[in-house]
Amino acid sequence: MFTLVPHAFGWMTEQRPIAAVLGGELELRLLNYRDWTPLRAGQVDDEPYGGGAGMVLRVDTVASALDAVYGGQPGHRVVALTPSGRPLTQEVVEELAAEDALTLLSARFEGFDERIVEHLATDAISIGPYVLSGGELPAMVILDAVARRLPGALGSEESGLVESFSRELEGGVEYPQYTRPAEFRGWNVPDVLLSGDHRRIEEWRMEQSRLRSVG
Ligand SMILES: C[S@@+](CC[C@H](N)C(=O)[O-])C[C@H]1O[C@@H](n2cnc3c(N)ncnc32)[C@H](O)[C@@H]1O
C-alpha cells in the first residue's frame, strides 16, 4: 500500500478481519512515496500542466518508489485508486482476493499524473461515484473486503459464505436477520424463523433475498 499517510491505516491493523490474518494469510506493507522521492524536501507532487488549482502526484516519484521496493515494475497487479476507475463490486473483490500479491496506489489533492494510471498501474478502481479527499479510505475498503475473503479472517460470529452478493444467494443481497427478543413494542420476528423447520426457514430466506434483490 503506497500512501502519503501510512499512519491512517493504524486502527485497521488492530481490528478483524485484518488483525486475524496479518502475519499469516496477509502481509501488509504501508509505504510512503516520500521515502523514495528523488526530489528535495520530500516533494512528491507538483502543479498541473495547463493550469488550475491543486497539486498532482508526480509520475517520477511513484516510479522511484516502485523501483526501490520491487526493483522495477512489480510482477503483480498494481491498482491505482481513482474516481475514474472501474467500479468496485464483490466480483472485483473476489478477483483481487485470488491474487497472491497486490499493490495499491493512493493519491491526494488533484490525484495522479495520468501516466501513473496508464503506465505504472495495471488497474484503476473506484469505490463509487463520489470524490473523497484521498485514496486511503478507498484502499481500506478494498483491504477490508479482500481480507475477509482470506481463510481465518472471520470469527465464529460471522459467516463469510452466505452473505450479500455471494453465489449462495445468487449474487443478491442477504435476507433480513433477527435476534432476541422475539417481540419488541409489538414488532414481531416472522413466525417462520421461530418454527424450527429448517427447510421452511431456508426457503423463506431465499425468497426474501430474491425479493430484496429485484431491481
Ligand atoms: C480529491 S481526489 C482527486 C479527484 C480528481 N481530481 C477528480 O476530480 O477525479 C484525491 C484522490 O483520492 C482518491 N479518491 C477519491 N475518491 C475516490 C473514489 N471514489 N474511488 C477511489 N479513489 C478515490 C484518489 O486516489 C484520488 O486521486
DSSP 37-85: -SSGGG--EEPPTT--SS-EE-HHHHHHHHHHHHSSS-SSEEEEEEEEE
Task: Please report the sign of the dihedral spanned by the C-alpha atoms of residue 119, residue 62, residue 100, residue 13.
Answer: negative
The finding on whether 87 has its CB within 6 A of some atom of ligand 1 is: no
3-state secondary structure of 125: strand
Among the listed ranges 7-11, 126-130, 155-159, which one has the minimum average pLDDT value?
A: 155-159
Angle between the N-to-C axes of helices 136-147 and 90-97, in degrees from 0 to 180, rounded to the nearest 10: 70
- Residue 157: pLDDT above 80? no
Answer for the pair 165, 213: CB distance below 8 angstroms, yes or no: no
Contact by Cβ (8 Å): 116, 59? yes
Q: What is the pLDDT of residue 96?
A: 98
Work out whether strand 31-32 and strand 45-46 pair parallel, antiparallel, or are unpaired. Answer: unpaired
Collapsing DSSP states into helix, strand and coil, what is residue 103?
strand
β-strand partners of 45: 57
**Residues with Cβ < 8 Å from 193, sequence gap 6 or more?**
178, 201, 204
Residue partners of 22: CB distance under 8 A and separation at least 6: 13, 28
The C-alpha atoms of residue 9 and residue 30 are separated, in whole angstroms, by 8
107-120 pLDDT, tens digit per residue, is 999 999 999 999 99
Please answer whether residues 7 and 35 qualify as being in contact, where contact means their C-beta atoms are separated by less than 8 angstroms: no
| pTM (predicted TM-score) | 0.95
State in Å: Cα 82 to ligand 1 middle: 5
pLDDT digits (tens, 9 = 90+) for 14-57: 988 999 999 999 999 999 999 999 999 999 999 999 999 999 99
Nearest protein CA to atom 13 of ligand 1, as residue: 135
135 lines ligand 1 (CB under 6 A): yes
The total number of residues written for the chain in this structure:
215
Q: Residue 156 has what pLDDT?
A: 77
Cα-to-centroid distance, 200 and ligand 1 (Å): 46
Q: pLDDT band at 4, cuts 50/70/90?
A: very high
Residue 215 has pLDDT above 80, yes or no: no
